[in-house]
Every structure is written in C-alpha cells, then in structure tokens.
Chain A
Amino acid sequence: MFTEVTLKLLEGFGTTLEIFVLTLVFALPLGLIISFGSMSKFWPLKWLTKGIVWIIRGTPLMLQLIVIFYGPGLVGTWATAQIANGASGFLIEWLATWQVFDRFFAVMLAFIINYSCYFSEIYRGGIESISKGQYEAGQVLGMPKAQVFFRVVLLQVVKRIVPPMSNEIITLVKDTSLARIVMVYEIIWAAQKFIKSDGLLWPLFYTAVYYLIFCGALTLLFGWIEKKMDYFKS
C-alpha cells in the first residue's frame, strides 16, 4: 500500500511541479513588463497597471481561480439566454460563444496573472531602490538607457530581489494546492482520493514530505544564488 500511495502521490506531484514551473516561466518575464508599466511616466498606463495589480493582490487567489474557471461559462449561458429572449447584436453573440476553460488552462491563467502581479511589485521595489547616481554615472559615460539598464542596473536589482523572490517562489509551491478546488489532479487531490476509495487519511499527511523536500531544495538553491552574488555590495 505504501508504495502504491507513494507512486500515486508522485504522479500528483508531477502536476504540482508542472503548475509551478509553467507559472515561473511565464510570470517572471511578464512581471518585469508589468513593473515597467507601473513605473511608466505615461500616467494612464501607470494607473491602469497599478489598478490591476491592486485588484489581483487585494483578492484571494482562490477567488480568482473560481472566477476564471466558472466566469466565462456563466457569461456564455447568460448571453445565450438573452439571445433566446430576443436580444441581438455583435457583442452579445460573441459573449454567447464563451465557454468554460479547460481546467488546467484556467489554473495556469489564474496563477500566471496572480504571480506576475506579485513579481512585478518585487521588481519595482528592486529597480526603484537603485540610486539615481548609478543611472547618471552610466549616462555621463555615454551609455544609452538600455545599456545602462542591462550592464549596470540589472545585476544589482537581481541581487536585491533574490531574498523577496525566494519567499514568493516558496509560497508558490504551496499555493499550487489551490488548483484542487477546480479539480486539477495535483498532489493534495491525489491524496484525498485515498480517503474516499480506501478510507485512508495518512496519505494526506504524507504529502507534506513532498512539499518539505521540494521547498528544502529550493531554499538551498536560493542560498547558493545569494552566495554567488556575495562578491559585491550595493
């Protein structure tokens, strides 16, 4: 039984990892773009971005998951009903085509949007903490803005954001368990199945081992990165 549970949980943990990796792959660059938006000198863009970030960071990820998963289906049903009642028009017809997303897709969408916003704030904090003097020193040496950013500022930003980033990324590991509420087969869901099928509760506790090992490995990795950048102070 133990081996069977271990294997099943491993299978579930595969999905957990998939959510984790895909979220990072998309949210890390997207977050940087959003942070540029929130620091823009063009105020409509700045306030739009800040508004979106405020909404995403101000509501639970669980709620966002539910809205993204069930929302489009509800809109589609509503619009179809309106058409049946005699409504017409391009917009309503388009809305009527809305359908429920694929479960996994909905989860990824929610996680990527949510984490991009969190990452963007970390990037923003890092970028804004670099002194104006660094930019000016680059400028008086004739370096164009992009060069100043990539050659001078970026590594300093990276050094400063490693600690908050590692926190956020470790939170992400555990947040993946939220995918269970739209019935994506990740590790918690895999463990819960044993309650129903075999009346076993311990597999659920056993999942903690997976999380602990994985987060432990991440902690070591981030510690190593921090150490790698110890050679300079900024």
Chain B
Amino acid sequence: MAILEVKGIYKKFGKTEVLRGIDFSMEEGEVLSIIGSSGSGKTTLLRSISFLETADEGTVTLDGEVVFDAKSVFKRNKKEQREVQSKFGFVFQQFNLFPQYTALENVMLAPKLLAKEREDYKKNKKEILAEIEAHAKALLDRAGLSDKYSNYPCELSGGQQQRVAICRALALNPKIMLFDEPTSALDPEITNEVLKVIKSVADLGMTMIIVTHEMNFAKNISDKIIFMDEGVIAEEGTPQQIFTNPQNPRTKEFITSFSQQTEDL
C-alpha cells in the first residue's frame, strides 16, 4: 500500500494556476526527487502537501488516512492538528532555525512542547525530558554536529544550520520528510555536507521528497524522479529513464540545459 497518495491537486494564486492537477504516490522508504524549472510549482506542491498552503482541489492521503481533502473542511482541534502536522517533516531552503535557541534547543523545542501534553508528563517529567534530549543529541551526532549542541544559529555556517534544521524536522519522527531545495542557499563547497546528511537519512529508510536543482544528487539518491513543468507532472520515472532516455521534449530540453551548465563549469 502506498504511504503517500496525492490526487488531483489544483492550486491558484489569484488568477495564476500554479498547480494544474498533480497525481502521484509513493511507497514506504521511497525517495522521490522533484525537478523542473523555476516557477513550475515545485515549492507550492510541497507546501500544499504539508498544510503550509491550502490546495483548491485534491486530496492527500498519508499512511491510509486522508489528511487533506479540499472538498471537506477539517475541523481539527490543536492536538489533532499537531499530530497530523508532525507526520510531515519539512526542511526549508532558508533553514528558518529559531535564532534565540541553541542547536540542541532548536531540535528539542517541538518534542518538549508535545511531551507537555502527555498525561504522564508531570509524573515522569525527568525521564521524558532525558529521553528527548538523548534523541536530539543522537540526531545531531549523526549529522556531525556533536560539538555544536550549545551554539546559536548565528554562530553556525549555513551548512551546519541546515543540518540542524534537518535534525529538528526529524526529532518528531515524521512519516515523511519534505526538502525544498535544501542546498540552494548554500555555497557550492558546503552543499556536500548537507547532501551527505540527507543521504544518511534516506539510508535509514525514511520516505522522502526532495525538490532540488542538484541533478547528480537526484540521480544518485532517488528511486523515482518527477519532472514538473507549468504546474503539471510532465514526466515521471526512474533516474535512469529521466536522465538518459527522457520521453517528453520538455524534459529533454531541461536535462540537456543542465548537463550543459555543468560542462560549462
């Protein structure tokens, strides 16, 4: 059974139709990369899946549960909204770390606030907090940040900030991770350290969608690639199919323009 099923997503901003009928599904543990030219609607799609944007039409089903249906208004209370929202981990292009918290505090904040709503929180406060801290530290260690626990975001490089942001998103144990151009705001030399961390997350079996312009990375990490063009999925297939044997002329054009760019460099 598919873990994520996206059906018939339409989204307009004013008169601009940004998404014009998006359908795809993913199996558990699958890594999907979305590529496409600027303005084709990649960010809007990720945002519509994770409640940052409300699609005009369509449904999103996660793990058998319809989490979004444009036809019916979901009246979720805070607890329910929190539960469903935390199934999606989201990594922003601009990191968006909380500046007044250290790296460790950034990772621990949401789990701590969530724990406060547990019925046994008062009774087992110490154990619960210790557990959250241990988990957060393990995540940071795995991202190579074991010496940065108590640094504030302004004391970290862009690559380090993005790695903290990935840990922060992972701390709530999401079902699926969504990355929106996670390395676009970084200097080329440090994109690799972030890509490595994303790869390690994928290797642990996390289901994820990555919007990226890093074609080599997409080719290597993905089980499936979607090429978006003007708000629709123009082509979908394995990296092999998309990169070496694209069917759609638009895909072909996009791929060649990219390989030319790399050669120019």
When distances are taken between beta carbons in the complex, the residues of chain B under 8 Å from A147 are: 113
Rounded to whole angstroms, the CA-CA distance of A163 and B165 in the bound complex is 30
Chain A: which residue is nearest B152 at the CB level? A232
Query: A233's contact among B88, B92, B99, B109, by CB below 8 Å, is which?
Result: B99
Question: Is there contact, CB below 8 Å, between A141 and B110?
Answer: yes
Residue A68 CB within 8 A of the other chain: no
A137 with B98: in contact, given A144-B78, A151-B109, A151-B113 (CB under 8 Å)? yes
Q: Would you list which residues of chain B between 50 and 101 have a CB under 8 Å from chain A? A: 50-52, 78, 81-83, 85-86, 88-90, 92, 94, 96-100
When distances are taken between beta carbons in the complex, the residues of chain B under 8 Å from A139 are: 51-52, 85
When distances are taken between beta carbons in the complex, the residues of chain A under 8 Å from B99 are: 156, 232-234
| Majority DSSP secondary structure for residues of B touching A | mixed
Question: Is there contact, CB below 8 Å, between A133 and B113?
Answer: no
Question: Is there contact, CB below 8 Å, between B168 and A141?
Answer: yes
- Residues 20-42 of B, flagged 1 when their CB comes within 8 A of A and 0 if not, give 00000000000000000000000
| Majority DSSP secondary structure for residues of A touching B | helix
Question: Is there contact, CB below 8 Å, between A142 and B52?
Answer: no
- Residues 121-140 of A, flagged 1 when their CB comes within 8 A of B and 0 if not, give 00000000001011011011
Residue B159 CB within 8 A of the other chain: no
Chain B: minimal CB distance from A65 (Å): 40
Place the interface of chain A in its size category. 20 to 34
- Residues 142-173 of A, flagged 1 when their CB comes within 8 A of B and 0 if not, give 11100100011001100100000000000000
Number of interface residues of B (CB under 8 A): 29
Residue B225 CB within 8 A of the other chain: no
When distances are taken between beta carbons in the complex, the residues of chain B under 8 Å from A233 are: 99, 152, 154
Most central of B82, B83, B110, B152 by chain A CB within 10 Å: B110
Chain A: minimal CB distance from B154 (Å): 4
When distances are taken between beta carbons in the complex, the residues of chain B under 8 Å from A155 are: 100
Query: A141's contact among B86, B152, B154, by CB below 8 Å, is which?
Result: B86
A156 with B52: in contact, given A141-B172, A142-B114, A151-B109 (CB under 8 Å)? no
Residue A205 CB within 8 A of the other chain: no
Question: Is there contact, CB below 8 Å, between A142 and B85?
Answer: yes
Rounded to whole angstroms, the CA-CA distance of A223 and B261 in the bound complex is 52
Chain A: which residue is nearest B89 at the CB level? A140
When distances are taken between beta carbons in the complex, the residues of chain B under 8 Å from A151 are: 109, 113
When distances are taken between beta carbons in the complex, the residues of chain A under 8 Å from B92 are: 133, 136-137
Residue B153 CB within 8 A of the other chain: yes
Query: B82's contact among A144, A159, A232, by CB below 8 Å, is which?
Result: A144
Chain A: minimal CB distance from B28 (Å): 21
Rounded to whole angstroms, the CA-CA distance of A137 and B85 in the bound complex is 12
Chain A: minimal CB distance from B133 (Å): 17
Question: Is there contact, CB below 8 Å, between B153 and A232?
Answer: yes
A152 with B98: in contact, given A136-B52, A140-B88, A140-B90 (CB under 8 Å)? yes
Q: Which residues of A does B touch, CB under 8 Å?
A: 131, 133-134, 136-137, 139-144, 147, 151-152, 155-156, 159, 231-234
8 A–B contacts, CB within 8 A, in A order? A137-B92, A137-B98, A139-B51, A140-B52, A141-B86, A233-B152, A233-B154, A234-B100
7 additional contacts (CB under 8 A) given A140-B50, A141-B85, A143-B113:
A136-B52, A136-B96, A137-B98, A140-B90, A151-B113, A231-B152, A234-B100
